[in-house]
A and B are shown apart, each in its own frame.
Chain A
């Protein structure tokens, strides 16, 4: 096979997600009363970027064949923390941002330590740590409130040169700074290898523990970046249980739509970003078609159900029935 065909086979999930997103976005903007304007794109980007960060976080963990059910709660916790810390002079704001990101890293590292060195199942461990993170968030913000440095918030949620949404630029920068180096490093390769076949990776001397630990830790960082952005959009901190749960759930949907295999070892964060943007656009389609907003939870749930059921098509390729039972 030619090189480009290998590349195409590897990127099939990502390209499919990109395709779904473009189709959905064209339907969305062409039916939007305001049409394809910078304002519409900016609003859509701001909403989509939040989920994109959380979905990237989920991707890192899913690649190692784990799952992080606490990403939504880290997102909430860092939102609450940012509504206290990211205020004041530019110096204070910078320190606040660094502190919020450090807390995200710490949350991710705790998850990683419990799952990898404590050898607990990721599902139960992250549900439990998620409860802890939510509790801390609720301690910080028993009621919605707080504030944020509005200059920074407006700069990061506005438009660059009055055309490109600033949030998309930040998203691109984060991809270039975190995802690209990680996926090309030894640790990133180890994370993929551990997800693909932990035993084989272990036997080959791949540093699977360090790779998985790095994946969980960076997932915490990415969720914190998402939480920071939520604060920039809403100017407040709010520990809403339902919202944290919804982000965890939607991150899984975005990851699946983005072509990342839930069994690990396959997919990329870029696919998950397009999955997140596509999921958000599909959810918002109801509004441009003037449906009752009451139908939105059902609509999103059905999309999620369909997205996860798509994985079942792999069953048609199974030659030996024993392969059903992985």
Chain B
């Protein structure tokens, strides 16, 4: 209903604005607002170096949020992000301890561990029909348990390989950090998959009504499982990049990525009920969250204040445009 009234107002606007999702426009408007507020606070806020640095920090969240978005589009959620990130990072660093072969296979092995977690999630959700938030919480706990047993309760001593550090902090093209290039490549691949392939159309279809997708002859369960596996793999890859950025893996490194990744996807206009959303929105959400974090830390806001502002901003933005239709 709201779309028809909005359509009436938007009818008088230029075509490219009319076609855009109001949520994505709101998110971009908030980014501009944050940049404006930041530039009032400090002159250096609009310098290219600072903005590029923010984009680099955003790319870690961007990679993780890409996987989250795929799952949210299905109408599911992946709460196993924290320990998928940590497991990816820790296993990649651990593999590096096993000679030159281990070093060469470190990154694929880290991603592989994330994919394994994702496959367990996928089997639970798609074939055992367990609600996704429950099974992903459970696999998160199991992954945590495995990592605690593996490390013996301490932070692992293994440090990141040179390749991991190069991926996260190096420059292949002068001036553009590698992490940003990686995010761009993964983002482009996701846009291609979502808009140009049958798999992508199926994801939207399942998000709208899985029953209808199933009756159209699609093996919906396989699609759901692949989506969860991809999400786990991307979380782990995000962890690998983070380990390269910090040059070592730590146990709780993923905790700070669960809420931001969900928030980035949802603030970007992807419906948490599934079936609606664009990758452009997720990009906007990721940049928005990263800028918000950056401004709060520049203002030297303590952790407590950051958590409160975070929660309030997410609830407020959702109340603006993420509400479910009224029941009548």
Using a CB–CB distance below 8 Å, which chain A residues touch chain B?
A: 67, 69, 114, 118-121, 123-125, 127-132, 134-139, 142, 198-199, 202, 241-242, 249, 252-253, 256, 262-263, 294-302, 304-305, 308-309, 311-312, 315, 321-322, 324-326
Give the residues in chain A near B315, CB-CB below 8 Å.
114, 118, 120, 125, 128-129, 132
Residues of B within 8 A of A (CB): 77, 124, 128-131, 133-135, 137-139, 141-146, 148-149, 152-153, 210-211, 214-215, 220, 252, 255, 258-259, 262-263, 266, 272-273, 302-312, 314-315, 318-319, 322-328
Q: How far is the CA of A253 from the CA of B321 in the complex (A)?
A: 33
Q: Kindly list chain B residues whose C-beta atoms are within 8 Å of the C-beta of A135.
A: 303-311
Binding site of B, secondary structure by majority: helix, strand, loop or mixed? helix
Residues in A neighbouring B77, C-beta threshold 8 A: 123
B311 touches A130 (CB 8 A): yes
Closest CB of chain A to B120's CB: distance in Å?
8
B129 touches A312 (CB 8 A): yes
Chain B residue numbers with a CB within 8 Å of A119 are: 323-326
Q: Kindly identify which residue among A202, A262, A305 contacts B142, using a CB–CB cutoff of 8 Å.
A: A305
A-side interface mostly: helix
State the Cβ distance, B263 to closest chain A Cβ, in Å. Answer: 8
25 A–B contact pairs at CB < 8 A?
Answer: A114-B315, A119-B323, A119-B324, A120-B315, A123-B272, A125-B318, A129-B311, A132-B307, A132-B310, A138-B302, A139-B302, A139-B304, A249-B141, A256-B134, A295-B149, A299-B145, A300-B141, A301-B138, A301-B141, A301-B145, A309-B124, A309-B135, A321-B214, A324-B214, A325-B214
Select the residue from B129, B305, B310, B319 with max chain A CB neighbours within 10 A: B129
Residues of B within 8 A of A128 (CB): 259, 263, 310-312, 314-315, 318
- In whole angstroms, what is the CA distance A241 to B306 when docked? 14
A-B CB pair tally, cutoff 8 Å: 162
- Distance in angstroms from B119 CB to nearest chain A CB is 14
Q: Which residues of B contact A300 (CB under 8 A)?
A: 141, 145
Q: Out of B130, B211, B308, name the residue touching A309 (CB < 8 Å).
A: B130
Query: Which residue on B lies nearest to A115, using beta carbons?
Result: B324
Residues of B within 8 Å of A134, CB to CB, are 307
13 additional A-B residue pairs with CB within 8 Å, beyond A139-B308, A309-B124? A124-B262, A128-B311, A131-B307, A132-B308, A135-B304, A135-B305, A138-B307, A199-B327, A256-B134, A298-B144, A308-B138, A309-B135, A322-B211
Whether B138 lies near A305 (C-beta < 8 A) is yes
| CB neighbours of A124 from chain B (8 A) | 262, 266, 272, 314, 318, 322
Complex contacts, B144 vs chain A, CB 8 Å = 297-298, 301
Chain A residues with CB under 8 A of B308: 131-132, 135-136, 139
Nearest A residue to B316 via CB reads A128
When distances are taken between beta carbons in the complex, the residues of chain A under 8 Å from B129 are 312, 315, 324, 326
Q: Is the CB of B303 within 8 A of A304?
A: no
A121 engages B311 (CB within 8 Å): no
B319 in contact with A297 (CB, 8 Å): no
A312 and B327 within 8 A (CB): no
Residues of chain A contacted by B215 (CB below 8 angstroms): 322
Q: Closest A-chain residue to B214, C-beta based? A: A325
Bound state CA distance, A199 and B255, in angstroms? Answer: 37
Instruction: Sort A-B residue pairs by CB-CB distance and give the 8 closest, nearest first.
Output: A298-B145, A135-B307, A301-B141, A132-B311, A135-B308, A138-B304, A131-B311, A312-B128
Residue pair A249, B137 in contact (C-beta under 8 Å): yes
Residue from A137, A253, A256, A297 whose CB has the most chain B CB atoms within 10 Å? A297
Residue among B134, B137, B142, B152 making CB contact with A298, cutoff 8 Å: B142
Question: In chain B, what residue has the closest Cβ to A122?
Answer: B133
Closest CB-CB distance, A34 to chain B, in whole Å?
A: 27
With contacts A120-B315, A131-B259, A325-B210 known, is A315 near B128, CB below 8 A? yes
A298→B128 contact, CB < 8 A:
no
Task: Assess the B130–A312 pair: CB atoms within 8 A.
Answer: yes
Chain A positions within 8 Å of B311 at CB level = 128-132, 135
* Nearest chain B residue, comparing its CB with the CB of A121: B272
Decide if B130 touches A311 in the complex (CB within 8 Å): yes
Residue of B nearest to A139 (CB): B304
Q: Which residues of B contact A241 (CB under 8 A)?
A: 255
Q: Least Cβ distance of A133 to chain B in Å?
A: 8
Q: Which of A121, A300, A302 has the most CB of B within 10 A?
A: A121
Nearest Cβ on chain A to B252's Cβ, whole angstroms:
8
- CA A324 – CA B1 in complex, angstroms? 30
CB distance from B267 to the nearest CB of A (A): 10
- Is there an interface contact between A297 and B145, defined as CB atoms closer than 8 Å? yes
Q: Are B134 and A262 in contact (CB under 8 A)?
A: yes
In the complex, chain A residues whose CB is within 8 Å of the CB of B319: 114, 118, 120
Which chain A positions have C-beta within 8 A of B124?
Answer: 308-309
Pick from B144, B272, B302, B328 the residue with the most CB of A within 10 Å: B144
Are A294 and B141 in touch, CB under 8 angstroms?
A: no
Q: Which residues of B contact A322 (CB under 8 A)?
A: 211, 214-215
Give the residues in chain A near B255, CB-CB below 8 Å. Answer: 241
**Cβ of A165 to closest chain B Cβ, rounded Å:** 28
Check if B145 sits within 8 Å of A302, measured CB to CB: yes
Nearest Cβ in chain B — how far from A216, in angstroms?
15
Cβ of B148: which chain A residues have Cβ within 8 Å of it?
294, 297-298
CA distance A242 to B315 in the complex (A): 23
